[in-house]
């Protein structure tokens, strides 16, 4: 394998093979808490993706000029400022959505997966690699949140895209699907989050077990 | 060691710059969002106020006066709660209490209770709660009609003992599987009506006074 392909593979590993939630099992608290609906999952996923992209890319830009011990505090500074801004921004433009996500928007700041990415990838790799890898991390987390949200909403409430008008304005309301069944309550309750998560994990393990050659070579995150 | 010191200096300068940049960025976002968030909050309250008024009053341009009211016994919290007195040409048309049901299943439940001048409930809505999903969250009007059963009820329509759920020999249905939640809401609505009965004239007088003061300020 030539080096370009290899580093491309490593950079995009967080999309699926090294997915933050499904591979590294990080960020599970917001994952399990906000995914009662697809829209909730999408919203928190987008916010987290934006935060990891900006934080890690900035840290990669500064990598060569910083003394190593200053990295962690500066990463935290950027993370905190960014999350505060995202929190205010979402309150200003998506007030009702922000209400329904509650504490989990400000809590993005303590998502270990994002900090681990800035520490493990941004402090070792170049800007381009970090950018792609951060994008993959964000989209991978978004994917996990959205999938679990969709699963739980379909089986729990019998709808899909309920509350989409909170994210996309009244015009998007037509996207909401009502399925011809009522849904099982348990899927929207906390145990349902664990069942759904277990299903996704089993699926991922099954798929990666079929192609063992693809599982290697991604930077390990601290747990 | 010169280059090591140089790097330390660069780091220090960068750290200060980043901190200043982060500070001004957050300040800028705060300044930009401050008004918007306050407007969202007001719009939310106005929309909610409308939902607990009797249908004939909804969407009408009533003058709204907000009062701070404290009564830990009947209004469920030690702090002041918002009471909105809605008037038309000085005549009180409705009173809305942002009351608290302190004994919710997981936490206190924030309610809006609309009361007509004769002391009848015009509407109740749960504004903020942490009741169990799928059980206690049936207090939300979007999820079930349960909360609508308070409409038109007054202290005079039934003895005080009937302000309870059926399990406690009262007049109200309980939510299946959420008896605690149901009791908490019924009790909070009853207490709000009791407070209104005892303080109606005082509330109206305070509202008229506040409205007059606001008008004097405008001139």
**Model pLDDT, residue A39:** 93
- Listed as ranges, residues in chain A with pLDDT below 50 are 213-218, 223
Domain boundaries, chain B: 1-51, 60-218
CA nearest A185: which of B148, B138, B184, B129?
B138
Residues of A in contact with B133 (CB under 8 A): 36, 185, 188-189
For residue B11, what are the contacts with CB-CB under 8 A and spacing of at least 6?
A65, A66, A67, A70
* Alpha carbon distances (Å) from A198 to A24, A146, A159, A193, A194: 14, 15, 22, 8, 6
Q: How far is B107 from chain A (nearest CA, A)?
A: 15
Tell me which residue in A74, A84, A91 faces B18 most closely, judged by beta carbons. A74
Position B43 confidence tier, pLDDT thresholds 50, 70, 90: confident
**Model pLDDT, residue A223:** 47
Residues of A in contact with B36 (CB under 8 A): 91-93
Q: What is the ipTM of this complex?
A: 0.79
**Model pLDDT, residue A179:** 85
**Interchain contact, B25 vs A73, CB within 8 Å:** no
Whether the Cβ atoms of residue A171 and residue A90 lie closer than 8 Å to each other: no
How confident is the model over B50-104, as pLDDT tens digits?
889 988 888 777 888 888 899 999 998 888 888 999 998 888 999 999 999 999 9
Alpha carbons within 13 angstroms on the beta-carbon side of residue A21 total: 31
CA distance A220 to A205: 17
DSSP assignment, residue A194?
A: H
**Interchain contact, A74 vs B134, CB within 8 Å:** no
**Could you write out the DSSP letters of every residue in A146-157?**
HHHHHHHHHHHH
**Model pLDDT, residue A185:** 83
Residue A126 has phi, psi (to 5 degrees) of -75, 175
Mean pLDDT, range B172-196, rounded to an integer: 94
Q: Are strands B63-69 and B100-101 parallel, antiparallel or unpaired?
A: unpaired
Specify the residue for token string 């979007």: B142
**Model pLDDT, residue A210:** 66
**Model pLDDT, residue A184:** 86
Tokens in use for A197? 């998560």
* Alpha carbon distances (Å) from A88 to A83, B95, B97, B192: 9, 32, 28, 34
Prediction pTM value: 0.76
Cα dihedral A113, A119, A121, A122 sign: positive
Specify the residue for token string 């606001």: B214
Three-state DSSP at A18 gives coil
Best mutation target, A85, A96, A182, to test chain B (most B CBs within 10 A) = A85
Chain B within 8 Å of A67 (Cβ-Cβ)? yes
**Model pLDDT, residue B88:** 87
Domain boundaries, chain A: 9-211
Q: How far is B140 from chain A (nearest CA, A)?
A: 13
**Model pLDDT, residue B143:** 85
* Alpha carbon distances (Å) from B97 to B46, B49, B63, B150: 13, 9, 16, 14
**Model pLDDT, residue A127:** 92
CA nearest B196: which of B105, B77, B114?
B114
DSSP assignment, residue B172?
A: B
Chain B within 8 Å of A89 (Cβ-Cβ)? yes
CA distance A144 to A19: 8
* Alpha carbon distances (Å) from B83 to B75, B176, B188: 11, 31, 15
CA distance A41 to A143: 9
- B27: nearest CA partner in chain A: A85
- B28: nearest CA partner in chain A: A85
CA nearest A30: which of A151, A197, A180?
A197
Tell me which residue in B18, B36, B134 faces A188 most closely, judged by beta carbons. B134
**Model pLDDT, residue A216:** 46
Position B142 confidence tier, pLDDT thresholds 50, 70, 90: confident
Q: How far is B159 from chain A (nearest CA, A)?
A: 37
- B138 has pLDDT over 50: yes
- A33: nearest CA partner in chain B: B133
What is the number of residues in chain B? 219
Whether the Cβ atoms of residue B17 and residue B96 lie closer than 8 Å to each other: no
CB pairs under 8 A between A and B: 66
Element (H, E) at B112: strand B109-115
Residues of B in contact with A65 (CB under 8 A): 7, 10-11, 14
**Model pLDDT, residue A90:** 92
- B2 has pLDDT over 70: no
- B131: nearest CA partner in chain A: A189
**Model pLDDT, residue A215:** 45
**Interchain contact, B37 vs A95, CB within 8 Å:** yes
**Model pLDDT, residue B50:** 87
Specify the residue for token string 């701070």: B68
């Amino acid at each position: 394998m030539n080096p370009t392909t290899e580093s491309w593979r490593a950079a995009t590993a967080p999309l699926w093979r090294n997915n933050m939630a499904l591979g590294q099992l990080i960020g599970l608290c917001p994952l399990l808490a906000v995914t009662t609906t697809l829209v909730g999952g999408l919203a928190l996923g987008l916010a987290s993706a934006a935060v990891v992209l900006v934080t890690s890319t900035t840290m990669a830009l500064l990598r060569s000029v910083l003394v190593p011990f200053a990295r962690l505090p500066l990463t935290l500074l950027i993370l905190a400022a960014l999350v505060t801004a995202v929190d205010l921004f979402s309150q200003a433009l998506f007030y009702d959505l922000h209400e329904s996500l509650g504490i989990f928007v400000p809590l993005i700041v303590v998502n270990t997966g994002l900090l681990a990415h800035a520490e493990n990838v941004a402090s070792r790799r170049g800007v381009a690699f970090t950018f792609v890898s951060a994008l993959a991390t964000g989209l991978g987390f978004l994917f996990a949140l959205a999938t679990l949200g969709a699963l739980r909403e379909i089986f729990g409430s019998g709808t899909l895209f309920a509350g989409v008008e909170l994210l996309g304005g009244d015009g998007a309301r037509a996207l909401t699907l009502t399925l011809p069944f009522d849904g099982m309550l348990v899927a929207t309750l906390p145990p349902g989050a664990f069942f759904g998560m277990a299903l996704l994990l089993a699926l991922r393990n099954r798929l990666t077990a079929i192609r063992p050659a693809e599982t290697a070579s991604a930077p390990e995150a601290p747990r | 060691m010169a280059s090591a010191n140089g790097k330390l200096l660069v780091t220090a300068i960068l750290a200060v710059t980043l901190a200043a940049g982060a500070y001004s960025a957050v300040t800028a976002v705060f300044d930009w969002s401050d008004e918007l968030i306050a407007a969202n909050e007001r719009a939310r309250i106005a929309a909610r106020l409308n939902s607990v008024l009797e249908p004939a009053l909804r969407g009408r341009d009533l003058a709204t006066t907000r009062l701070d009211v404290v009564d830990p016994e009947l209004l469920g919290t030690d702090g002041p709660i918002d009471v909105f007195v809605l008037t038309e040409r000085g005549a009180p048309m409705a009173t809305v209490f942002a009351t608290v049901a302190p004994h919710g299943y997981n936490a206190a439940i924030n309610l809006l209770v609309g009361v007509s001048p004769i002391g009848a409930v015009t509407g109740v809505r749960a504004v903020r709660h942490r009741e169990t999903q799928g059980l206690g969250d049936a207090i939300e009007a979007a999820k079930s009609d349960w909360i609508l059963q308070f409409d038109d009820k007054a202290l005079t329509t039934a003895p005080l003992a009937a302000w309870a759920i059926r399990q406690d020999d009262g007049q109200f249905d309980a939510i299946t599987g959420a008896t605690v939640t149901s009791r908490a809401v019924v009790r909070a609505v009853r207490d709000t009506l009791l407070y209104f009965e005892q303080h109606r004239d005082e509330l109206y007088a305070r509202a008229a006074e506040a409205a007059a003061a606001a008008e004097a300020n405008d001139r």
